[in-house]
Amino acid sequence: MLAAVFLWSSATPASKYVLEEMPAAEFVVLRLSLAAVALWLVVLAMRPDARLRVVGWRPLVMGLLEPGLVTFLVSLGLTMTSPVSASVFWGVTPLIMPLLGRIVLGEPIEPIVLGAAVVAFGGIAVLAWGQTHHGGGSLMGDALVAGGIMASVLNGLIARRNAQAGASPLVTASWQLTTACCISALLLAVLPAQGPALSGVGSTTLGVLLYLGLVVSAGVYILSNYAVRHLPVARMSLLGCVTAPLGAALSALFLGIEISALDIAAIALVIGAVALPTFLKFRSPAAVEPKR
């Protein structure tokens, strides 16, 4: 899950970079198409049972939500808002997911995870407040990103049920991205591309696009679909908090966005909060003392 989080974190500044030269709708379709083709080539090589009647409906709905709506709404929002401000909204999910996991999936609420989520959200809020002084986002852009993240929350619940049913992470990710490609193509038809022509995109931008399609979009869904087999949705969403500080650090490194001392303190607070439940688990006597 941490590997998936790192990929997602790198996607925010990378997407912002590509969107400077490419219309959002075309960007989404190309990115998801690259990932879908790559995954189906792996499926052909490994030959798992990928028939739709065996796979069921859940991966199709998951693809509609994420990466379909999530990628489109977040990408469109990034054209109007700061990448750091966009990353902040992911910090809301650990506060929502424990409650939804309890209501929808019947998973227990771990007090330490919920407490860590509150601390992490506080750190992310400080990070967002600091960014308003140097490149904060717009209300419309933030609203679009928030809508994409709510679609991601719903996808997380369905993904957990799908994983509990024993679904293959590779096959699930392949059908997810195929559905997302279809949805994105429809959106492209409804919302014609505006902005620079695709033919004018530079080689560096194309390289970043290939990274987003073949590495991020293809890899993150395999990793997260595997992780959700072993982790409750509350713990997964808490780990997702690391997206904000990593996204901020990578934005500063590659896009030159200012990171202040306050931002660094907020990043440290988020990472510390996310690590706390795991640290306490391994420090507890039950974890270190042999059973008699």
Residues of the chain short of pLDDT 50, as ranges, are: 134, 286-292
122 CB-side CA count, 13 A: 11
**If you search the block for the tokens 């996808």, which residue do you land on?**
155
Residue 121's CB is within 10 A of a number of other CB atoms, namely: 20
**What is the C-alpha to C-alpha distance for residues 251 and 274, in angstroms, rounded to an integer?**
21
Q: What is the pLDDT of residue 256?
A: 67
> Model confidence over 105-154: pLDDT tens digits?
888 877 877 777 777 777 766 766 665 554 555 678 778 888 888 888 88
What does the block give as tokens for 257? 């966005």
Helix (H) or strand (E) holding 242: none
CA 169 to chain centre: 16
> Model confidence over 245-277: pLDDT tens digits?
777 677 677 666 666 676 677 767 776 776 777
Q: Which residues of 40-64 are buried (b: 16+ CB within 10 A; e: fewer)?
A: beebeeeeeebeeeebeebbbbbbb
Write the DSSP assignment of 111-141 as a string of letters: HHHHHHHHHHHHHHHHHHHHHTTSS---HHH
Q: What is the pLDDT of residue 287?
A: 45
On whether the pTM is more than 0.75, the answer is no
**What is the C-alpha to C-alpha distance for residues 242 and 245, in angstroms, rounded to an integer?**
6
Q: What is the pLDDT of residue 136?
A: 54
Name the maximum alpha-carbon separation found in the chain. 69
Q: What is the pLDDT of residue 289?
A: 45
Torsion angle, alpha carbons of 83, 85, 90, 95, to 10 = 170
